[in-house]
Structure 1
Amino acid sequence: MKILQIKSLFLLFFVVISFVSCKKDTLDPSNATTTIPADEPAGASDANKAANSWVYDQLKEWYLWADNMPAKASTNLRLLTGSDSEIDTKKYYFYSLLNDYPNTDRFSWIRENITDLTNSLSGVSTAFGFTRTSVFLDNTQTNVGFFVSYVIANSPMDKAGLKRGDIILTVNGTQINKDNFATILANVETATFGLGELKNGSFVLSGKTLQATKAVVQNDPVHFWKVIEKGDKKIGYLVYTQFLADYDTKLKTVFGELKAKGVNEFVLDLRTNGGGSVASADILSSLLVKNLSTNNIIHQDEWNANITKKYPSVANPTKFSNQTNNLGTLNRVFVLTSNGTASASELVINSLRPYMDVIIIGEHTYGKNVASITLKDENNPVRWTWGMQPIVLKTKNSKGESAYGTKDGFAPDYLVTDNIYPYKPWGDESETLLKKALEVITGTPAQALSNARQASARQLTTQAIQLHESDLAGENSKDMFVKLPK
């Protein structure tokens, strides 16, 4: 049974819906007008020209495809959208400069507030704090359920009692449906969520409600880990949701615990991981790789010719780091994936492949083999608060391989659709993707569920609208970023 999935790009700068956070904006620079509105405030066009000139100059220096940019003189520095909104103006000018947007470059983005941009890359957002898959509840494709796949520790929803596997059917008493699922929480700070249950073959309200108010949430990406013992197999299992430098120490500590328990197989669950810091991805690779050697290359990066000339060090390959908690003897690693497994997650897969077997279970990954940097106005005083996240480099592994940068991403070795709802708890051996990994590791099919457990789960035969969408901006960004070279 296949579930049709609507796969979109997601841009952080334009929050269309509060619940699904940064759903893809569909800006089309060709629709912009160059006509200055009659009621445009005095001096606005000059301000546009100055800021847009800065946008151009920054991209011309750093952008991976700088050679493909139009000449500055041929661009319209006063580019408007038919509105006197400064935000709309910059968005359209920025995107008019990108290389074959939104095809070749579907990843560069700009945001009107640099603080919001850096917060989102650090896993910080004002949010309820959970991830869900939106699914039609029956063949009429009318009512929609939010199936909770991930709840951030200490978030408002975690404190309210929400957990993975819960079902949300109503918000503030309104049934979620095909017309409102994308906007039902827009501009809502406090909400009452009506939970559902599977009863007599249908999802209905259970009578239980939860109330939560949005707050500043910091994602802790080292979300869940355990050791599963199967005969002589000691299988480490880790759910890792975002590559964040602030949690590198915790990640290393967890690997120390797993190493002390004698782990000899490993399942890395990246199905909700849209990426993050390249440096953190390199640490994870160094913790997993067999026969760790600091002489071996993790990846090598291609920048534009001007940056390579100005900063020769960027041409040096990145090598594995000495990690005392490296597991050491793994011959293979199993990676659980979804269409949202992106960028830095894919970098880990690509980096490890020359050194060990990387077995992918789940669905095609997102397909992003390029990374960005954060650019802001460095003047004092600051002239504008804009922040850009343009693509600046392409990564390749030690064999020069980088063929996953398409919308098909990495193809799974075992295609398993994550479509059994409600979701099972993390680490449950009957959970769809983990179950398959355990079967491959042990060579033994899992035992069939009891009739009672089968009755508590249902494989929907209707359409999944959005998979693993978080209301934390950074988790949906599909980003992979590096620091400015020096």
Structure 2
Amino acid sequence: MKITHIKFIAVALLSGSLMVGCSRETVMPELERPTRPDTDEDLLKDSVYHYTYGFYLWQADLPNWFADVRGNTKRYNSADAVLETLKGYARDDAGNAYDRFSFLDRWGTVNAEIQQGLAGSFGFDVRYNSDTDLYVKKVDAGSPAYQKGLRRGWKILSINGNSDLSPASMERDNFTFLFGALDAGSISLLLRKPDGDEVSVTLERGTYQLQPILNQKRYDVAGKKVGYFAFDIFVSTLDDRGNPTYVKDQLDKLVAQFEADGIQELIVDLRYNGGGAVVTAEYLSNLLVPSAVGNGIMYTNKVNAGLDDFLLANNVRIDFSPVHFNKRNSLNLSRIYFLVTEGTASASELLINNLRPHIDVKLIGEHKTYGKPVGYFNWNILGVDLYAVSFQTFNAAGYGDYFSGMTVDKVVFDDLTRDFGDAQEDMVAEALHYASQGGFSSDGAGLQATARMGIAKQMSAPINQTLDRHGRKGMYNFGKKANQ
């Protein structure tokens, strides 16, 4: 049987929790969506098996259906169901599936968000600040929510008239109400601002350009100059023709300012960053690594034994050779503090892992990162993009097995009542404490607002993990092209 491979856009991607289909972070408005093809679902099911087997990292664990592919795939009602089954074969020693990540993108929205920096959503996300209170955790600049005045730190009192937003209530229907409201075309909110005023707003989903740098600061502590920036998503620094994007320009200006300010230590806030373009993770790694690294190894890749032959047979070239540092700027840091949650995934983790062998790295946040050292590239079949895990990354020290996440050096909970970069926000305050005192605050005398709030945040932590995992996350490399 002939497998139709319509086109290939080379994309290497590491991703956190992925929801098959569309999420509020990636869905473009109806008029912005590409035309959905009339797909031959039976052929798509066969093709998903064929290509997944060809470049799957855990190829050896997959069943061999080649004697009768159609006979096996016909048991499933969709290509998505075929892929979900294939994801269950490779398991760790505890019996847990390695692959929580592979997916089909039937709308082709990845390129718009990560390559072009375009999003179609309300432009805000939520989190619990205690075991009862739901807050706006982030608002994208220029988004519908931003234009209506919403900001981080506003308490949400009701959504679409429903004021029972307690974690217990949301859990009872497995977050169906909350996620349904956040993913809809419009939403009505009643909110309380920090000054106590209550505001009612109705939002319509809209298209806007993502601004990855949420805030930047400089602090002077104990004779040190400490920099800070909050980075929300790894939008590509290169467009599809290899030309610099607005994000590269923004990062260059940011680091040039840190150089001019004589920054010695840096706080990189990745608490909600679920990933993005691998080329941006590489670029940022080069900007932040000490000059002494020279052109040493940044990271290496592990792929299945037959991948090169498979790609060659399909007239596709993808370079999985080791990636080396290429340090060109003069910023020479002595320590980097990464602020993280379990929503910190993929490209964010790659950045951290790249730098760890070369500089003193401290992780501050909520227990651990998401845990995804594997990735994939895009394979377009009949107009549907297949992302099946195809490689694993390892840093210069050979470390890349953080499937359960990177454990933090100091547990500090997100303080939703303060803005990004506020010196009194708990995560930032802990980093500044280390910078001034040479160590973390002692247990029992930490920087959480009150003992009661600390306990409440621990109670809400599992709920926030669910909220942070909602939506598409990933790491994409648009720099590698198919042979024509």
TM interval, short-chain normalised: 0.7 to 0.9
Aligned 8 A contact 1:148 1:423 in 2:
no
> What are the ranges of 5 or more consecutive residues in structure 1 without an aligned counterpart?
1-7, 23-43, 82-88, 139-144, 200-204, 378-383, 447-452
Deviation at 1:477, TM superposition (A): 2.4
In structure 2, relative to structure 1, the CA distance for the partners of 1:97 and 1:190 (3 Å cut) is closer
Tell me the distance in 1 between the aligned counterparts of 2:136 and 2:183: 21
- SS at structure 2 position matched to 1:79: coil
Partner of 2:140: 152
In structure 2, relative to structure 1, the CA distance for the partners of 1:172 and 1:49 (3 Å cut) is closer
Task: Name which of structure 1's ranges 175-184 and 429-438 shifts more when overlaid on structure 2.
Answer: 175-184
CA RMSD of aligned residues (A): 3.2
Aligned 8 A contact 1:149 1:164 in 2:
yes
Q: Which of 35, 40, 53 is residue 60 of structure 1 equivalent to?
A: 53
Partner of 2:10: none
Aligned 8 A contact 2:21 2:106 in 1:
no
Deviation at 1:64, TM superposition (A): 1.5
Amino acid at match of 1:128: F
Aligned 8 A contact 1:161 1:210 in 2:
no
Q: 1:241-294 CA distances to partner (integer Å, 9 max, x unpaired)? A: 111114122112211111111111100111111111111111111111112545
- SS at structure 1 position matched to 2:97: coil
Matches within 5 A, 1:371-390: 371-377=375-381, 384-390=382-388
Query: Is 1:319 aligned to residue 319 of structure 2?
Result: no
Aligned 8 A contact 2:21 2:104 in 1:
no
Partner of 1:100: 90
Aligned 8 A contact 2:289 2:327 in 1:
no
Partner of 1:266: 266
Q: Which of 50, 61, 80 is residue 91 of structure 1 equivalent to?
A: 80
Aligned 8 A contact 1:12 1:111 in 2:
no
Q: 1:367-406 CA distances to partner (integer Å, 9 max, x unpaired)? A: 11111111113xxxxxx331111111111111211131x2
In structure 2, relative to structure 1, the CA distance for the partners of 1:174 and 1:331 (3 Å cut) is same
Amino acid at match of 2:126: R
Partner of 1:331: 334
Q: 1:338-370 CA distances to partner (integer Å, 9 max, x unpaired)? A: 011111111111111111111111120111111
Tell me the distance in 2 between the aligned counterparts of 1:400 and 1:167: 44
Aligned 8 A contact 1:301 1:393 in 2:
yes
Q: Which of 352, 355, 360 is residue 352 of structure 1 equivalent to?
A: 355
Amino acid at match of 1:443: Q
Task: Name which of structure 1's ranges 48-57 and 430-439 shifts more when overlaid on structure 2.
Answer: 48-57
Matches within 5 A, 1:298-317: 298-309=298-309, 310=312, 314-317=319-322
Matches within 5 A, 1:72-151: 72-73=66-67, 75=69, 76-81=72-77, 89-98=78-87, 99-100=89-90, 103-113=97-107, 115-122=108-115, 123-134=117-128, 138=132, 145-151=133-139
Deviation at 1:481, TM superposition (A): 2.6
Q: 1:85-116 CA distances to partner (integer Å, 9 max, x unpaired)? A: xxxx1111122223437711111111222x22
Deviation at 1:176, TM superposition (A): 4.2
Tell me the distance in 2 between the aligned counterparts of 1:153 and 1:170: 23
| Number of aligned positions between the proteins | 414
Amino acid at match of 2:154: D
Aligned 8 A contact 2:213 2:230 in 1:
yes
Tell me the distance in 1 between the aligned counterparts of 2:420 and 2:59: 44
Partner of 2:389: 391
Amino acid at match of 2:90: D
Tell me the distance in 1 between the aligned counterparts of 2:317 and 2:398: 19
In structure 2, relative to structure 1, the CA distance for the partners of 1:108 and 1:292 (3 Å cut) is farther
> What are the ranges of 5 or more consecutive residues in structure 2 without an aligned counterpart?
1-14, 28-37, 171-175, 237-244, 442-447
Q: Which structure has the higher relative contact order (CA within 8 Å, separation 6+)?
A: 2
**TM-score normalised by structure 1 residue count:** 0.77
Partner of 2:411: 415
Q: Percent identity?
A: 27
**TM-score normalised by structure 2 residue count:** 0.77
- SS at structure 2 position matched to 1:110: strand
Tell me the distance in 2 between the aligned counterparts of 1:20 and 1:79: 32
Partner of 2:364: 361
Deviation at 1:423, TM superposition (A): 2.4
Partner of 1:277: 277
Aligned 8 A contact 2:271 2:341 in 1:
yes
In structure 2, relative to structure 1, the CA distance for the partners of 1:212 and 1:67 (3 Å cut) is same
Tell me the distance in 2 between the aligned counterparts of 1:437 and 1:340: 19
Partner of 2:419: 425
Partner of 1:478: 473
Partner of 1:32: none
- SS at structure 2 position matched to 1:104: coil
Amino acid at match of 2:321: N
In structure 2, relative to structure 1, the CA distance for the partners of 1:454 and 1:411 (3 Å cut) is closer
Deviation at 1:185, TM superposition (A): 1.3
Aligned 8 A contact 1:48 1:78 in 2:
no
